[in-house]
Structures are given as C-alpha cells and as structure tokens.
Amino acid sequence: MLDALTLDQIRMFVTVAEAGSFRAGAARLRRAQSAVSHAIANLEHQLDASLFDRGGHRPTLTPAGVALLEDAHAVLLKVDFMRARARGLGQGVEIELSLMVDTLYPLPVVAAALKEVRETWPSVRLRLAVAPLGGPLQALRERRCDLAIMAGEDFLDPRIETEALQRVPIVAVAAASHALARRRKALTSVELADHVQIVLEDPTPLSEGRDFGVLSPQTLRVGTQDAKRALILGGVGWGRLPRWVIERELAEKQLVPLAATALGPQGVAHTQTYLARRTDRALGVAATALRLALHQHASLPQARQRRARNAPRSDPATP
C-alpha cells in the first residue's frame, strides 16, 4: 500500500498540520476542502495510522501524526533539493552571486576567495554583505543570498546545510586607559559587571530574549562591529572582538586583553564558523567555486592569514 503514496498527499498533510485546520490548509493549497480531506483520509488508510484527531473543534495531530510529520517534512525537502539540483545541472554560470558573512569571520579570507571567483568568471556580479548573529541565517531563509558564513551553533535550521570552516579566536579587551586594563590578575564576573560592556545587537528577531557572552548588566548595544571596536578603543567600556580585527591594536598596546576566565581561558574563546546554504537550492558553477575557495583559504596556515590581515589599512578619509 505504501507504493501508492503520492507527494500531493504528503504535501497536503504537511500543509494542514501547519495551517491548523482542513479549511485553512485547503485555502493555502487552493483546493476544495473536500478534496483535501479525502486525500488525507486515503493517506491515513495507506499508512494504517490516524494522523489527526478530529473529535474537537479543530483537528489536532495524533502521536503518530506528530512522528510522521517530521518524516513528511524530510521527504518534501529531499524532493525540493532534487528538483533544484536538476535545474542547476541544466544551467550555466550564474549572473549574480551573493554571500552574507557573520561579522566574526575574517574578511581577508573572504576577499581571497572572492578574488579567485572574480578572476575566473568576471561576468558574474558579486555581492557581499556582513551581519552579526542571526543575520546570515535570516538572509538564507529569505533567499537574499546564495551562501552564508555563520558563527557558532545558536542559529540552526533543518532547511540549512552547514559545513565547518575554521575556528575564530574571540578576545575580551579594553582600552589601555580603561580601569580594567590595569588589572593583571584574573577578572571575575563580578568585577566585569561593574563596568559597561559593549555588545553587538542582533538585527533579526532570531535571538530575541537571549544574550551571548554578556556578563555585565550595564550594556551599550551597537549595530556594527566597527562601532563596537571604536567605542572600546575610546574607553567607553570593555567587550569581546575577533582577534583578526584587533591584532594591530593589541600589538601596539592600544587594546589590552582581559583575563576574563568566565569567557574562556585568559578571556579567549574560539568560535566555530560554518559555510551554510539552503538544502532546496542547488549551487551554481560560480557558487560551487566560491565554496571550494572558502574552504581552501580557511585551511591556510594562520601565519599566512595573519600577514594578509596586517596589510596596511587605507586612510579612513579615503572613499
């Protein structure tokens, strides 16, 4: 009997479960309610399992329905992925390729990978955007980018496939003039809480109600990594920054690392980063090349990456 299952039945089951009723599900599918009800009844007969409890005002999933809904989602995702891959096989090089990168990720690595793609396919329009926290995942969900680089494991989605790239050191720092910079011993959470912490704010609602690495009740929240770095350098407060962003300031002792053991050994934590893409969207020729280039440059020896990061900066007044 299972051989008689159709994708149409499975899609109806998922839609009704998500919509909350047969009427709402039928409206989403633009099908007659009787046709949807009949199709799901046939599906239940073929599976020999009751998917919905129809005894109340609204149908509710049975325990079997809850379990099989997960399988139904997986089936539809695989089918969508197969269709996307088939479309990709028949297409040429993309007209445009977009990448969204978490603010923690080393941009010199991204630049080296994009340079390779640009040199190979100069006709492809490249777009790069940078956003913190839930920004890359949100961009993938909304199909605003082809690839994204995410940091940490706080933003996961079954529709998003991730591949480990590299671990990025995140350092707790304060300006040399800040009171905390004069403390040579390990700093407790209580001591850190007495000072303003500069915190990067999530531009999306994905982390609503959650904070990451925030130890002080006194926070100054900013929207960009550059603003955070500038405020910490200005002595407004302390905060955590990727080491690749502040290597020069650390070497010149403008910034001082804080031995905040609550944030990692000697105040240093290592965040795993991931290359991410939608499972229902096949990568084109240029996107595949960018994926490979990112993996290649992420695996380069740290010394070589450091030389690229320490290249002279342009004058801030220069456009």
- State pLDDT tens for residues 265-311: 777 889 999 999 998 888 888 898 899 899 989 887 554 444 444 44
Q: Label the pairing between strands 96-102 and 125-131.
A: parallel
- The tens digit of pLDDT for each residue in 199-236 reads 988 888 877 667 777 878 888 999 888 999 999 999 99
195 found inside a domain: yes
314 found inside a domain: no
In eight-state DSSP terms, residue 314 is: P
Q: Label the pairing between strands 255-257 and 52-53.
A: unpaired
Co-location of 263 and 283 in the same domain: no
DSSP-based three-state secondary structure for 231? helix
DSSP-based three-state secondary structure for 31? coil
Co-location of 161 and 172 in the same domain: no
- The tens digit of pLDDT for each residue in 90-136 reads 556 788 899 999 999 999 999 999 999 888 878 788 999 999 888 99
Co-location of 27 and 47 in the same domain: yes
Q: State the residue range of the domain holding 300.
A: 96-166+272-309
Calculate what percentage of the chain has a pLDDT beyond 70: 88
DSSP-based three-state secondary structure for 21? coil
317 found inside a domain: no
Co-location of 162 and 277 in the same domain: yes
Say if residue 145 is exposed, middle or buried (CB neighbours under 10 Å; 0-12, 13-18, 19+).
buried
- At residue 167, the pLDDT reads 92
The region of weakest confidence among 7-21, 86-100, 147-161, 230-244 is 86-100
Co-location of 179 and 117 in the same domain: no
Contact status, residue 279 vs residue 90, Cβ threshold 8 Å: no
Whether the full predicted model's pTM is greater than 0.75, yes or no, is no
Encoding tokens for residue 21?
Answer: 């009723």
Place of tokens 């082809």: 146
